[in-house]
Amino acid sequence: MENNDDNKANISNTHSDEGSNPGEEVGLYVMSVAAQLVGTHPQTLREYERRGLISPKRSGGGNRRYANNDIERLLRIKTLREEGMSLTAITQLLEYEKALYNLQLENDELKSTLEHTQVRLDDVENRLAQVEDTIDNASTEIVKVGIREIVLSKQNEEKN
């Protein structure tokens, strides 16, 4: 069994893996260190992976590498287990939370799009008001010729 100093030597502080996606956390901890950090047995981590609760990265040699977000997730799972939840219930809860998070992201995106559209609509309304003022001041009228064709024509001013 490895001692604490050997475990620390297994921690990689590299922040870039070849082939990893930008923003993706790098697997820093080997299984034994991850299990020790969480306070569980490595076999428990294997079981969680088998059930799809966690998905650690793999090293070039195929060894599991756990990132900080994996450790946080494992600590959450451990807390839920200690509260008496089954692994099946935890799996469902985490799936619901992920779906809720994705819906919140989509909602934020839609709100942003709506705000942008509102700004554009306000701009169009302001420009329309300017055109209407110009028409009123120039004694012209708008004549619709076709579906999308609009013509400004000069009004005949008759004085009586």
- What are the pLDDT digits (tens) for 28-78? 899 999 999 999 999 999 999 999 999 999 988 888 999 999 999 999 999
Smallest CA-to-CA distance from 130 within 6, 1, 75, 122 is with: 122
* CB contact at 8 A, 38 and 73: no
Report CA Rg, the chain: 31
Give the per-residue pLDDT at 21: 52
Identify the band that residue 133 occupies on the pLDDT scale cut at 50, 70 and 90.
Answer: confident
User: What is the distance in angstroms between the CA of the first residue and the CA of the last residue of the chain?
Assistant: 109
Two tokens, residue 85: 């939840």
Helix and strand numbers (H, E) in the chain are 5, 4
Token pair of 79 as six digits: 């807390």
**C-alpha closest to that of 66 among 46, 84, 51:** 46
**Helix or strand run (H / E) with residue 58:** strand 57-58
Place of tokens 């701009």: 123
The pTM score is 0.57
Alpha-carbon span 66 to 60, nearest angstrom: 14
For residue 87, the model assigns a pLDDT of: 94
